[in-house]
Amino acid sequence: MPVKKRTSQNILLSTALENFYGAAEEMGLDDDLVEILSRPERSLCVSLPVTMDDGSIRVFEGYRVQYSTALGPAKGGFRYHPNVDLEECEALGSLMTWKCSLAGIPYGGGKGGISCDPSELSMPEKERLTRTFAARVAPIVGEWTDIPAPDVNTGAQEMVWFMDTISKMRGRLEPGIVTGKPVSIWGSRGRNAATGVGVATCVMELLKTEGVDVKGARVIIQGFGNVGSHAALTMVKSGAKIVGVSDVTGGYYAPGGIDIRKAVEHVNANPKKTLEGFKGPGLNKIDGDDILTQETDVLAPCALEGAVNAKNAANIKARYIVEGANGPVTPEADEIVGEKGIMVVPDFLANSGGVIGSYFEWVQNLNGFFWTEEEYNHRLIPIMTDNFYRVWNYSREYGEKMRRAAFLVAIKRVADAVKMRGTFL
């Protein structure tokens, strides 16, 4: 039977499927493997009744998708955002599958989330929502089955609520059930900065291999949350010049460079944790979207999906785009920037430092023995560097774009595992 290709109205899922089918065809993947790998193994939809502070009850919708467990337990974060739905979790779960495969860590991929606007929720409401979510997905999560982590609008506090709820339900501590916990509660030193450190490692290796001096190289970072800020801090340590940053409050551009430590201090001191009111020498406040099209060598979109799209792609002036977020360049934009000769380092390579860091945290949880931050980075940076060159070399050798090369490498490892593990007789 010829493969019946799946399609979707959801832009993230249709992109994920298009990328998968394109790579599968090019590598001559067997039809049965195409069928198996183009759909999630398991999807769970949950309803979440939450008592709000005013005493009323609101029912939220939540999801957990285990896209693949061929290489190990499903791994991937859960996010709180109004756009969350089943298809988005499916798409992001497939991306996690390729990310973990490419990273060479013993995990499959998954993703989850709750459709909500967290800025409208109080802390106690968020806690009740998170604990209800944990209880509803409890039957399918575990340190050897599915290990959630932080994602958009979730962090250490949500992870602790999640772990605590499951631990209470099971009557035993379950530290390895979730990663991204605070250092004081079974988390790992280094995990918080890991995604940003990984993005910075990719940027620096890319510049090196392209013969561009990292010292003084100009970088723009769109999104100044956990990923963007740690990427910026790591890059300035190596001498790169961050000429632009942005967040929900707008863009901040200074051709002479921004003092990133001051920007981070400003955000930390601001109760809203934004760049609002940030000032510095030569700093121009511009529209948030306009930061993407300023003069720079590297553009690192580290916020949400779809930032670089058909509307702005033609105006991008960067020579390189390194995707810190998941899916920040749409397929149309990918074509446009490709024609302009801009090289794109894909998300599931560039931002894999987060999940590699999660793997380190899980290993420490299983052993009950903790590493220093030096040990952590000592292991993270060589893995990121190796993964970067594996994709880079493949892309050079076979004349492929980095994204396609990354898909080909990642799909092969999962497909080989599915083939060897087989189906039931």
Identify which of residues 34 and 147 has a Cβ nearer to ligand GLU in the complex. Answer: 147
Binding window for ligand GLU (CB under 6 A); candidates: 9-17, 73-81, 237-245, 304-312:
73-81
Site string for ligand GLU, 341-370 (x = CB under 6 A): ----------x--xx--x------------
Distance CA 344, CA 346 (A): 6
Q: How far is the CB of 77 from ligand GLU (least distance, A)?
A: 3
> Of all helices (H) and strands (E), which one includes residue 137?
helix 123-137
Q: Active-site residue 4, yes or no?
A: no
The answer to whether residue 76 forms part of the interface with ligand GLU (CB under 6 A) is yes
> C-alpha angle 36/39/44, rounded to 5°?
130
Binding window for ligand GLU (CB under 6 A); candidates: 70-78, 117-125, 127-135, 281-289:
70-78
> C-alpha angle 252/253/257, rounded to 5°?
115
Identify which of residues 243 and 350 has a Cβ nearer to ligand GLU in the complex. Answer: 350
Identify which of residues 153 and 309 has a Cβ nearer to ligand GLU in the complex. Answer: 153
Helices (H) and strands (E) in the chain, counts: 13, 13
Site string for ligand GLU, 283-312 (x = CB under 6 A): ------------------------------
Identify which of residues 108 and 251 has a Cβ nearer to ligand GLU in the complex. Answer: 108
Query: Which region holds residue 383: left if phi is over 0, alpha if psi is between -120 and 50, else beta?
Result: alpha
Q: How far is the CB of 178 from ligand GLU (least distance, A)?
A: 9
Site size for ligand GLU, by CB under 6 A? 13
Distance CA 20, CA 207 (A): 28
The alpha helices in 184-240, defined as continuous H runs, are 191-209, 226-237
Identify which of residues 64 and 75 has a Cβ nearer to ligand GLU in the complex. Answer: 75
Closest CA to 148 of 194, 101, 181, 121: 181
The CA–CA distances, whole Å, from 21 to 5, 7, 132, 301 equal 8, 11, 37, 25
Binding residue (CB under 6 A) for ligand GLU from 40, 62, 73, 77: 77
Site string for ligand GLU, 97-136 (x = CB under 6 A): --x-------------------------------------
Identify which of residues 187 and 244 has a Cβ nearer to ligand GLU in the complex. Answer: 187
Site string for ligand GLU, 256-285 (x = CB under 6 A): ------------------------------
Write out the two tokens for 309. Answer: 């799209």
Identify which of residues 179 and 234 has a Cβ nearer to ligand GLU in the complex. Answer: 179
Binding residue (CB under 6 A) for ligand GLU from 179, 188, 309, 364: 179
> Of all helices (H) and strands (E), which one includes residue 61?
strand 57-68
The answer to whether residue 326 forms part of the interface with ligand GLU (CB under 6 A) is yes
Binding residue (CB under 6 A) for ligand GLU from 13, 16, 89, 149: 149
Write out the two tokens for 102. Answer: 């490419």
With tokens 């990273």, the residue in question is: 103
User: Which listed residue (99, 111, 181, 241) is catalytic?
Assistant: 111
Q: How far is the CB of 301 from ligand GLU (least distance, A)?
A: 14
Identify which of residues 145 and 312 has a Cβ nearer to ligand GLU in the complex. Answer: 145
Closest CA to 385 of 412, 342, 349: 349
Asked if residues 321 and 299 have their Cβ atoms less than 8 Å apart, the reply is yes
The answer to whether residue 251 forms part of the interface with ligand GLU (CB under 6 A) is no
Q: How far is the CB of 75 from ligand GLU (least distance, A)?
A: 5
Binding residue (CB under 6 A) for ligand GLU from 75, 128, 241, 403: 75
Q: How far is the CB of 391 from ligand GLU (least distance, A)?
A: 16
Q: What is the side-by-side strand order in the sheet with 57-68?
A: 42-51, 57-68, 109-115, 78-80
Q: How many CB atoms lie within 10 A of CB 417?
A: 16
Distance CA 76, CA 73 (A): 10
Write out the two tokens for 187. Answer: 């988390």
Q: How far is the CB of 198 from ligand GLU (least distance, A)?
A: 10
Q: E strands within 160-306?
A: 218-222, 241-247, 250-253, 284-286, 298-301
Phi, psi of 275 (to 5 degrees): -85, 0
Q: How far is the CB of 18 from ligand GLU (least distance, A)?
A: 20
Identify which of residues 339 and 373 has a Cβ nearer to ligand GLU in the complex. Answer: 373
Q: How many CB atoms lie within 10 A of CB 259?
A: 16
Return the active site residues. 111
Which residues lie near ligand GLU (CB under 6 A)?
Answer: 75-77, 99, 149-151, 179, 326, 351, 354-355, 358
